[in-house]
Amino acid sequence: MWRGHPIALRRSGDPQAAVKVILIHGFGASSAHWRHTLPALADGADVIALDLLGFGASAKPRSRLADEADQPGAVRYCFDLWAEQVVDAAVELLGIETATVQLHLVGNSIGGIVALNAARMLRDRGLPPAQVVLLDCAQRALDDKRLAQLPPWQRPSRPLLKALVRQRAVIAPLFRLLARPAFIRRVLARAYPSGAHVDDALVELLFRPSTDPGALESFRGFVNLFNDHLAPQLLEELSSSSGAGGRPIPVRLIWGEADPWEEPAEARRWAARFACIDELVMLPGVGHCPHDEAPELVNPLLRRWIGCSPLSAQRA
C-alpha cells in the first residue's frame, strides 16, 4: 500500500546487496516491461521494478486536474506524485536512510522524467542516488513550456485541445480506440523498428491494465499534463547541485537511434549542454524501448554502470 492505494511491484536479486536499483516504466507500461532487465541485474543487486500509481496492477484512482476541487479518493496524476512514490520506495523498501547503499534510478520514456525528479527530491533530503540512467527519456512535446517550438499553425489549436481532453465524455472513446490489441501492435511496430521481442506477452502486458476499472482516469490525468517538469529543467538543476563527493549526480543516457518520438538529436544536445551527463550511448536501429527491444545491448551497459559483475554474453 502507498497512501492508501494498492501498489504492485516486482523485486529480484539479493535484499542484502549494497547495490540497489529502481526501474521505472514509461507511459502505458508497467513493471512487467522490465522482463529482460530484472533477471540480468539480479546477480549482484537488489532490484525493484514499480508499477506507478495509475499503471500496471497498481490502483487507478479517480483523476483530479490541477484546477479541480479536491474529491475524496481522487489524485492529481503528475511527475511529483510518481517521484514521491519512487522516493518512498527507496526509503521504505530499500532502506537507503539506514544502510550504506548505492541507489541507481533507471527510467524509460516518462519514467526518465520520474527518475530525474526523484533524484532531485532525494538530493534535497540528503540522500542523493549514485546515478540516474535514462533510456529514451520523454521530451514532452505537448507541454505548454514548449509551445513556442511548435509550428505556428499548430499553436492556435492548443486551447481547444486542452478544453477537449479534460472532458471524460470526449476522451473515453479515444481511450477505447487506443486500448485495443490491434492498435497496440501497430504502435509497437513503430516503437520497436527491428521487431525484436514484439510478442503476445508484450501485447498482453500493455493491454491488460487498460481493462482495469479506473484506467480511463489515469489516462485522463496523464494527457492533461500540460504544465509539468521537463527533462532539461531537471538536468539543469542536477548539474548545478551536489551528489556524493560534491559532484553533480551522474546521469547516463541510452538512446535508440531509430526512436520515432524522442529525437536522438535532442539527446545529443542534452549531453553537450548539461554537466551532470557523463555518457550517451546511441543504439543504431533500436527504437523507443531499448531495454526490451535490445536487451543484449542494454543489459551489459546497465550492469557495468551499476557495478554488477560481468555476465557471459549468453546470459546478458
Residue 86: other Cβ atoms inside 10 A: 25
Domain ranges of the chain: 9-306
Question: Is the pLDDT higher at 247 or at 221?
Answer: 221
| Residue 150's pLDDT band (cuts 50, 70, 90) | confident
Q: Residue 231's Cα: distance from chain center in Å?
A: 12
What is the structure's pLDDT at 243? 56
**What angle is formed at CA 83 by the lines to CA 283 and CA 189, rounded to 5 degrees?**
35
* Grid cell at residue 203: 501485447
What is the structure's pLDDT at 315? 35
What distance in Å separates the CA atoms of residue 41 and residue 247, rounded to the nearest whole number?
26
Q: How much of the chain, in percent, has pLDDT values that exceed 70? A: 96
* Grid cell at residue 47: 532490484
Residue type, 219: F
What distance in Å separates the CA atoms of residue 27 and residue 203, rounded to the nearest whole number?
14
What distance in Å separates the CA atoms of residue 36 and residue 47, rounded to the nearest whole number?
13
Question: Is the pLDDT higher at 241 or at 73?
Answer: 73
Q: What is the pLDDT of residues 7-27, one digit of tens each?
A: 999 999 999 999 999 999 999
Q: What is the pLDDT of residues 232-247, one digit of tens each?
A: 999 999 998 665 557 8
In DSSP terms, which residues pair with 131 in a beta bridge? 104
| Residue 280's pLDDT band (cuts 50, 70, 90) | very high
Q: Place domain 9-306 in its CATH homologous superfamily.
A: Alpha/Beta hydrolase fold, catalytic domain (3.40.50.1820)
Evaluate if residue 311 carries a pLDDT over 90.
no
Q: What is the pLDDT of residues 99-135, one digit of tens each?
A: 789 999 999 999 999 999 999 999 999 999 999 999 9
- The answer to whether the beta carbons of residues 241 and 249 sit under 8 Å apart is yes
Q: At what angle do helices 215-223 and 168-178 cross, to 10 degrees?
A: 110
| Residue 148's pLDDT band (cuts 50, 70, 90) | confident
- The answer to whether the beta carbons of residues 53 and 2 sit under 8 Å apart is yes
Three-state SS at 270: helix
DSSP state, residue 219: H
What distance in Å separates the CA atoms of residue 314 and residue 106, rounded to the nearest whole number?
23
DSSP state, residue 78: S
- The answer to whether the beta carbons of residues 119 and 105 sit under 8 Å apart is yes
Phi first, then psi: give them for residue 133, nearest 5 degrees: -115, 125
**What angle is formed at CA 71 by the lines to CA 67 and CA 76, rounded to 5 degrees?**
50
| Residue 313's pLDDT band (cuts 50, 70, 90) | very low
Q: Which residues have CB under 8 Å from 155's CB, separation 6+?
A: 147
Residue 108: other Cβ atoms inside 10 A: 30
| Residue 312's pLDDT band (cuts 50, 70, 90) | very low
- Mean pLDDT across the chain, nearest whole number? 93
Evaluate if residue 225 carries a pLDDT over 80.
yes
What is the structure's pLDDT at 142? 86
Check: pTM over 0.75? Answer yes or no.
yes
Query: What's the whole-number mean pLDDT along residues 39-48?
Result: 94
- Which DSSP helix (H) or strand (E) runs through 168? helix 168-178
